Chains A and B, each alone.
Chain A
Amino acid sequence: QLQLQESGPGLVKPSETLSLTCTVSGGSISSSSYYWGWIRQPPGKGLEWIGSIYYSGSTYYNPSLKSRVTISVDTSKNQFSLKLSSVTAADTAVYYCARRASGWYGYWGQGTLVTVSS
């Protein structure tokens, strides 16, 4: 069964870079059928799509975050990663990684809370 697991620091200082990794198990990240994405949810608020990546490295980013976001993939480790630079308190959220098939996200990680605070 496919599983996704986010990992990374739970606390990041303002102006620094948030870095998270999603480890995929029970399936290959190199499958041609899927994209892999990051979605976040500020406390008590709705879902925001951050971006997606294909195993080949092709990426798509939310225009509102594009200048600060980098998503990368490491097929040898079956992982993909998120970097968000110049963070502020507004970037405090639960960050989810997920697998996208034909536009929808059928498998999600459990989510990881990242707090931006000094």
Chain B
Amino acid sequence: DIQLTQSPSFLSASVGDRVTITCRASQGISSYLAWYQQKPGKAPKLLIYAASTLQSGVPSRFSGSGSGTEFTLTISSLQPEDFATYYCQQPVTFGQGTKLEIK
């Protein structure tokens, strides 16, 4: 089974900061990776799929990159509404999550 490991698990940042979250796969998965944002009490929201394709309606400050075993999600300039938990996913596995908190 493919395992996904996110780092860091917790991240403290300020509005306007640039942040990067990493997701490492236990074996190569080409570009078969998605990123989700989840806010408390809500369902996850798809942000990026196929490693780097922005889902319709998602702000352009979100970007994804990578292939094979290492992937990144970057938020170029944090906005107040971006403080949430982020998950990576390949079709049958989710990463453990990265909680992004306000510094």
Contact = CB atoms under 8 A, between A and B. Distances in A.
B94 A108 contact: no
A100 B1 contact: no
B84 to A, nearest CB: 13
A104 B89 contact: yes
A98 B94 CA distance: 14
A60 B43 contact: no
Tell me the dominant secondary structure on chain A's binding face: strand
Contacts, number: 53
A104 B94 contact: no
Interface residues on B, range: 20 to 34
B90 A103 contact: yes
B46 A105 contact: yes
Interface string A30-70: 00000000010000001111000000000010110000000
A109 B43 contact: yes
Interface residues of A, number: 20
Interface of A: 39, 46-49, 60, 62-63, 96, 98, 100, 102-106, 108-111
